[in-house]
Chain A
Amino acid sequence: MFLVKRASFYLLTFWAAITLNFFLPHLMPGSAVGAVMARAHGEMGPGALHALELAFGVNVHQTLLQQYGIYLSHLAHGNLGISFTYFPEPVSQVIASTLPWTLFLIGLATIISFVVGNLLGIYAAWRRGRPLASVLPIAFTVMAAMPYFWVALIFLYVFGFLTGWFPITHSIGTEVTGIFHRFGSIMYHATLPALTIVITSMGGWMVGMRNNLVSVLSEDYVILAEMKGLPEREIVANYAARNALLPAITGFAMSLGFVVGGALLTEIVFSYPGIGYALYQAVTNQDYPLMQAIFLIIVTAVLIANFLVDLLYSRLDPRVSND
């Protein structure tokens, strides 16, 4: 019952999102064809204009409703149109070539940041009073307060440019063959961008976890767990941390959803061929089909991530699913 309720809510939200995604570009002034023509600096004839209009599906004398129907049917077939920027490549292909890189880099960095941040937060709360536990929250609050692009540029400059320890661009080396060699190269290229994301976002998780846990530690059930003579490990894991983690789960869902939006700054600074970089290109080139598709993917990902976390949450906290 809980599942059906949640699922239908998400389906409704999804429909609203794709509908908005269709109407928004139609409300904007200017036309995509005009943008392409302008970029060609008048070197296109009227025939080319007409061909473009047909290709992009504008000025084809259909009502908005008809266009909406066509949009939905194209969407169902995975036809997202043709990218202006990467013309004549179809949008779906642009996404297929950029999304995996983003999912890998930002996804991995987000998960590492969440896990490590929460573990450090547990340590900082459980062992509070010890020197390291007192220093950690301060250090990471400072780290989280620094502007991301600045940290990224410093890392790029020091560890990429000055010392040459890490590559400063791309996601994989040229001319790498063999599965292990490729894997090694991919990890090597991802290290620096992932590291910058982890160290700047980890502090938030850590401080949040620490504060939640400190208040949970004074709950009666944690004290009772200690009175019961449970091993310390079980008290921390099953009684304290498990309850303190609940509020963080929602935040984790949101950030997982936004993973597919890419970390725009990361991908620009490190010239990483992810979807964030593609979005940046799309925006600067008025590439509506690509923008629309990326927005659609972000919305879908946020919804899916939230749905999964809803399911997970109902398992972690029995109070939400049955009352």
Chain B
Amino acid sequence: MDQDTKTPPAFAVEHLTVRYPSERGWVQAIRDVSLQVERGKLVGLAGESGSGKSTLVLAATRVIRPPQVAVDGQSFINGRSILNLRDAELRKMRWSTFSFVTQSAMNALNPVMRLRDQMRDTIRAHDRSYQPSVADARAREVMDMVELPSSKLLSYPHQLSGGQRQRAVIALALLLRPDLIVMDEPTTALDVVVQREIIDLIRRLQNDQGFAVVLITHDLSLLLEVAHHVIVLYGGRVMEAGPAEQLVENPLHPYSQALMHSFPPLHGAVSAQVGIPGAPPDMVSPPPGCPFAPRCDRVMGICRTTMPLLQTVGQVDVACHLMNDQNREVKTL
């Protein structure tokens, strides 16, 4: 492998557009989204239901693919173009380079197979010199990492509690030492205490092992605690992207601000929560301007007609007309 002057990012998406057919026409789930996840970083993808955050990652990793969806643009993992890869090569790359912790870990495990067998078949699919004893040793290792007793390897999924199952799914994701793990709402199905444990576990594992994480969640305040970098999606577009501290301290986009206020912080004083009035836009015929314009409390005339471009303000990228100089005045008023 020839190493360039710079190692490629773990995950990069360039001008990705994803549409899927519905009875009423094409749903524009993702519109011209670009993002980068550097090696070893934890990047959060935030947005409410229907913002396209899962679709973005699933289409970029070819889990959903034509004819289910139409995909334009480029997607790279470790510098390799995923969308142009041959099926057999993609299959080899799956799990060994990038793995998943899926939305509902409760249903992510096959109910009729022991945990051990679900790990064995994964190793067997990627290792020519597969040996059950070697595979089992690795399985015990990853169980250890997620703090589950290795005796649980002989269990069926229904014999594990919700938290244990979530840990088992994370163990599975670690199995082949991937460079990137996509975690799609890994804590939503769990109670608050277990949520906390899982988040701490993810953070520690990520520190120790150095894999990159794309963490998809609608819980922005949780994301801001663990993520290095946060990308806020709305209506299939990037609204705001930047370092997590920046977004906590000073969210610039009205949507990020609204999203921040709709979740209680995990730490700190109790404060009044404000919802975001209105509903996400209809993605079959999205508004021509900013997708958030119909719900925005600081909407201007231009917002309804022209989509704002992403522009860099300090360390943050924001797509909002309020950021333009002539509109700043309005903002301060």
**Which residues from chain A sit less than 8 Å from chain B, CB to CB?**
129, 219-221, 223-231, 234, 238-239, 242-243, 246, 316-319, 322-323
Contacts and interface: CB of A to CB of B under 8 A. Distances in A.
Given A220-B104, A224-B100, A318-B112, 14 more contacts: A221-B107, A221-B108, A224-B102, A224-B109, A229-B91, A229-B93, A229-B122, A238-B110, A238-B113, A239-B113, A243-B111, A316-B112, A317-B112, A323-B158
B156 interface: yes
14 contacts: A219-B107, A220-B102, A220-B104, A221-B109, A221-B110, A227-B99, A228-B99, A228-B121, A229-B94, A229-B122, A230-B121, A230-B122, A230-B125, A318-B158
Nearest to A316: B112
B121 A238 contact: yes
B110 A239 contact: yes
A225 B158 contact: no
A233 to B, nearest CB: 11
Contacts of B108: 220-221, 224
Interface residues of B, number: 30
Interface string B73-101: 00000000000000000111111100110
A221 B63 contact: no
Interface in B87-141: 90-96, 99-100, 102-104, 107-113, 121-122, 125-126
Contacts of B91: 229, 231
Nearest to A242: B112
Of residues B91, B95, B112, which shows the largest number of chain A Cβ atoms within 10 Å of its Cβ?
Answer: B112
Contacts of B111: 221, 243, 317-319
Contacts of A234: 121, 125
Interface in B41-86: 61, 63, 67
Nearest to B114: A318
Contacts of A316: 112
A320 to B, nearest CB: 10
A234 B123 CA distance: 13
Given A230-B122, A234-B125, A223 B102 contact: yes
Contacts of B67: 129
B241 to A, nearest CB: 26
A319 B158 CA distance: 7
Contacts of A243: 110-112
A221 to B, nearest CB: 5
A228 B99 CA distance: 7
A134 to B, nearest CB: 14
Contacts of B122: 228-230
B115 to A, nearest CB: 11
Contacts of A319: 111, 156, 158
B25 to A, nearest CB: 20
A227 B107 CA distance: 14
Nearest to B93: A229
8 A-B pairs with the lowest CB-CB distances in the bound complex, closest first: A229-B94, A220-B107, A318-B156, A221-B110, A229-B91, A220-B108, A228-B122, A230-B125
B157 to A, nearest CB: 8
Nearest to A219: B107
B214 to A, nearest CB: 14
B319 to A, nearest CB: 31
A232 B236 CA distance: 32
A70 B122 CA distance: 63
- Looking at A224, A226, A243, A323, the one whose CB has the most chain B CB atoms below 10 A away is A224
Nearest to B122: A228
Given A234-B121, A318-B158, A220 B96 contact: no
Given A220-B104, A243-B110, A318-B156, A231 B125 contact: yes
Contact of A223 (B63, B113, B156): B63
A319 B104 CA distance: 19
Nearest to B159: A322
Nearest to A239: B110
Contact of B95 (A219, A228, A231, A323): A228
B125 A228 contact: yes
A246 B111 CA distance: 12
Contacts of A238: 110, 113, 121
A283 B110 CA distance: 50
Contacts of B121: 228, 230, 234, 238
Contacts of B100: 224, 227
B117 to A, nearest CB: 8
A22 B107 CA distance: 51
Nearest to A315: B112
